[in-house]
Structure 1
């Protein structure tokens, strides 16, 4: 409750103020790795903004995954894409088209419905697939969240001395290829008005958080990953886009990022600041 009054409500009011200064719906990016609470933040902001009179929706980058059939084909072309999620597994044009329609929605009548792509992760034994879109109209604020939303490509030479788990030449090749794939996402990131970054004090917390989440699932009678499976799963994404290489430079970029929220190991909030605080 303390977070609600000290942080979430002021943030909601700030987003509402930003919307008032725009001639189109606000598209606010939210970047956060596994377990940082980006989906929870989006839900809280939707509740607050709706109370303030702003019709708000949340879209995850997961919602624009390529279809199951397309990803099966993709995996045949590149066997390294063993998980959905890394750059290259999304329908970028669908994301651009959706955000474009939403940005134009306040010029249209409430009868004009806009399809919002949605994804069900439980289909095909957890591989997931796209489902019927959600139809919306007259949206004021869009929260676009995901684990690498807004992340930019970096200089290739950085991978010559990359941190673990990027160790072998095969790892470096994968990291370089994923870095190049980010170029395709830049037109999508251009649709964001600004970016909030949920920033763990230590990126390795995400492994600990995943273990806790899986243990809770197993305790409730559901199936969950073993610690060994979690290790491979989390490190796969660190190899694709390592937080030290991609997130650390981004949070210093005052042009792209407007707020950084540090996350402690127990999920409590740490410092909250603007990027120019660092400069």
Structure 2
């Protein structure tokens, strides 16, 4: 991630921390492959170098277990077996992490194994230290707001046309986002957005991520082919497009990216020029 973006994020966080006691919770939203993890790690490294205890929690690590999603697939809609959209996360688990850190306690940070498509055992979770000052909650839909019901009527891609013709899945996702997720996002003190140039670039970014996973974990179960990635990202298309249209007008910091993930502009309601 270019230094200018990291400098801007660090500046926002440090300004907000000044004269503040207790935990600061910052949300970092961005489409799959946009560089959220790299930016979050860079920020944490800079802050901890200066003695500011920091922790990172990805919304991906709050995914419900495979068994729980299988149950949703049986009782609500088959598409809910696939992790990703609102309704497939354990929001209460995320709130418990924030509550513990807000009390100044140490807290276990959930971890999800994407190659195995299941939550890691608790014994393998990291722990955020007592007295953590910054929790960075990052993820593709962090801070998102639900769509108007009328916007759900028309499918946005083949997946919705062919596998959710009656709109049951997307209506469930939207209701979930309007419910507990808003309680989670209400805990954010600041919201930052890595804005992709459009949804069309996400397939290439996400395919690159999967290639990296295959390189690191091997071609075992859970590592997707390029064709599987193309289908997988259609689960995310509707809300990603909505976020890119709606969130820039209210995010504290917006970092606009081009197709090569280069920074081409910055703004936001709390952008310090």
CA distance in 2, matches of 1:31, 1:270: 17
CA distance in 2, matches of 1:220, 1:116: 22
- 1:261 alignment partner, one of 243, 255, 269: 255
> Where does residue 156 of structure 1 map in the other structure?
149
- 1:130 alignment partner, one of 97, 120, 129: 120
- Which structure has more RCO (C-alpha within 8 Å, separation ≥ 6)? 2
CA distance in 2, matches of 1:142, 1:251: 22
- State how 1:193-208 maps to structure 2 within 5 Å: 193-208=189-204
Aligned-residue RMSD, C-alpha: 2.5
Deviation at 1:179, TM superposition (A): 0.8
> Where does residue 173 of structure 2 map in the other structure?
178
> Where does residue 38 of structure 2 map in the other structure?
40
Secondary structure in 2 matching 1:90: coil
CA contact 1:63–1:130 (8 Å) conserved in 2: no
What TM-score comes out, normalization by structure 1 length?
Answer: 0.83
CA distance in 1, matches of 2:202, 2:24: 29
Provide, for residues 189-243 of structure 1, a one-character-per-residue CA deviation record: whole Å limited to 9, x for no partner.
11110110111011211101223344566678933533322211111221xx432
Deviation at 1:177, TM superposition (A): 2.1
CA distance in 1, matches of 2:91, 2:197: 30
CA contact 1:29–1:143 (8 Å) conserved in 2: yes
CA distance in 1, matches of 2:27, 2:235: 24
- 2:218 alignment partner, one of 219, 222, 244: 222
CA contact 2:87–2:172 (8 Å) conserved in 1: no
Change (3 A) 1:247 1:179: farther
CA distance in 1, matches of 2:107, 2:42: 23
CA distance in 1, matches of 2:246, 2:78: 30
> Where does residue 207 of structure 2 map in the other structure?
211
Deviation at 1:64, TM superposition (A): 1.8
CA contact 2:23–2:134 (8 Å) conserved in 1: yes
Secondary structure in 2 matching 1:170: coil
CA distance in 2, matches of 1:204, 1:275: 27
CA contact 1:16–1:54 (8 Å) conserved in 2: no
CA distance in 1, matches of 2:214, 2:41: 25
> Where does residue 94 of structure 1 map in the other structure?
93
CA contact 2:61–2:119 (8 Å) conserved in 1: no
